[in-house]
């Protein structure tokens, strides 16, 4: 009996010793091991970087020039409504019915467009540009209907007396923008307080903003989904993205100041759900605001409030202080993990991230090149 007890005790002590050894070793290597796994995982995301050599424009260096989607183009200024030709944009718009498709041929359009119907598709067939025109003193394209889609269109030079001229003004609900290029205007997109679901795909918003009150996009409520899109160099203290939506999801996108005197990259004014993943955030040297992201700074409007930043590359390059997250109150616990952070000062978050003091240390090309994440 004694021999059995001794054997049990001995086995117990051996087991405890082994466990103690394993736990001790784990304590020594736990963080380096997690760090190495994370670094290997995220190093893949930094594979693709722009390689253009135009030294005259930081935006061109980082992103190149926008082009319409390849494919058959309509002849210059040809306008088709459900395949039927119209000789002016006004005439075609007057005959629109729910569910119609409006195709625009290559050219510079100096006539604005008002969409009163639902379920419309407006598609550029070639290089289609709306330049310097505004309907109702609001926007190049004013949308009063629901469930519409705008694709493959460039818009520029929109300025109005209220200083909020937009390429698209959404007064209805549920809009999808696909492969559009809105730039050098007071605002890219402006919506009302109940826009439903706004979806932006494969699009570029550049050099927008006015007097700190107009922005790259300004979403007044509802839900915002952004995928595979670029928001670049808002000016005159505008945000690249300003949203009062209750749900904001940004995926595989770039939000960058570069050399502009923008404000925040993203301002989620009234809280809600914010998710940013597989994206690049770059705070440029001339930005007027230390914040990359502002959250709830104009008061919480929603019952559910949360922030999740995962698998992103964050470049904090503003001259002076940089603040990744500026929250109205401390009762929100953001999830910030699996990101690559480049900043002179290490940001402090509970999640496990990779921090580098400089682009050189991170193996990235010098400013103004922007690393592009591939997933």
Is 319 in contact with 343 (CB distance < 8 Å)?
no
Q: Which two tokens stand for residue 5?
A: 């007890």
Q: What whole-number distance in Å separates Cα of residue 34 and Cα of residue 45?
A: 17
Q: What whole-number distance in Å separates Cα of residue 180 and Cα of residue 200?
A: 9
Profile the chain (375 residues) by mean pLDDT over runs of 10 residues: 41 38 34 45 45 59 93 96 97 98 98 98 98 98 98 98 97 98 98 98 98 98 98 98 98 97 98 97 98 97 97 97 94 95 93 95 94 78
Q: What is the pTM of this model?
A: 0.87
CATH topology of domain 51-372: Pectate Lyase C-like (2.160.20)
Count CA atoms within 13 Å of residue 112 on its CB side.
23
Q: Which two tokens stand for residue 326?
A: 């500026």
Q: What whole-number distance in Å separates Cα of residue 189 and Cα of residue 193?
A: 13
- In the three-class reduction of DSSP (H, G, I as helix; E, B as strand; rest coil), residue 89 is classed as helix
Ranges of each domain in the chain: 1-46, 51-372
Q: What whole-number distance in Å separates Cα of residue 324 and Cα of residue 309?
A: 11
């Amino acid at each position: 009996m004694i021999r059995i007890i001794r054997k049990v005790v001995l086995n117990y002590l051996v087991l405890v010793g082994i466990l103690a050894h394993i736990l001790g070793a784990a304590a020594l290597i736990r963080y380096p091991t997690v760090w190495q796994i994370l670094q290997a995982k995220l190093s893949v995301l930094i594979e693709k970087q722009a390689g253009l050599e135009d030294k005259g424009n930081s935006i061109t260096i980082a992103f190149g020039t926008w082009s319409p989607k390849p494919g058959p183009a309509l002849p210059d200024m040809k306008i088709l409504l459900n395949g039927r030709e119209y000789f002016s944009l006004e005439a075609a718009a007057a005959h629109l019915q729910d569910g119609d498709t409006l195709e625009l041929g290559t050219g510079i359009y100096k006539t604005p467009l008002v969409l009163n119907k639902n379920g419309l598709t407006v598609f550029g067939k070639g290089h289609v540009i709306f330049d310097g025109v505004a309907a109702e003193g609001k926007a190049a394209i004013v949308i009063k209907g629901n469930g519409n889609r705008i694709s493959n269109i460039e818009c520029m030079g929109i300025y109005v007396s209220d200083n909020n001229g937009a390429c698209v003004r959404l007064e209805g609900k549920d809009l999808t923008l696909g492969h559009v290029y809105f730039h050098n205007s007071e605002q890219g997109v402006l919506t009302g307080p109940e826009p439903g679901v706004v979806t932006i795909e494969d699009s570029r918003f550049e050099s927008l903003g006015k007097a700190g009150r107009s922005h790259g996009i300004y979403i007044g409520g509802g839900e915002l989904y952004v995928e595979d899109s670029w928001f670049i160099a808002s000016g005159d203290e505008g945000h690249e993205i300003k949203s009062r939506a209750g749900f904001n999801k940004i995926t595989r996108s770039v939000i960058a100041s570069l050399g502009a005197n923008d404000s925040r990259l993203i301002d989620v004014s009234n809280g809600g759900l914010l998710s940013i993943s597989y994206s690049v955030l770059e705070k440029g040297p001339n930005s007027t605001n230390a914040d990359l992201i502002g959250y709830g700074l104009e008061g919480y409007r929603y019952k559910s409030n949360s922030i999740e930043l995962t698998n992103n590359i964050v470049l904090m390059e503003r001259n002076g202080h940089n603040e990744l997250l500026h929250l109205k109150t401390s009762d929100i616990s953001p999830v910030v993990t699996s990101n690559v952070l480049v900043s002179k000062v290490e940001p402090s978050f509970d999640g496990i991230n990779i921090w580098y003091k400089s682009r050189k240390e991170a193996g990235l090309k010098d400013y103004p090149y922007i690393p592009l994440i591939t997933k």
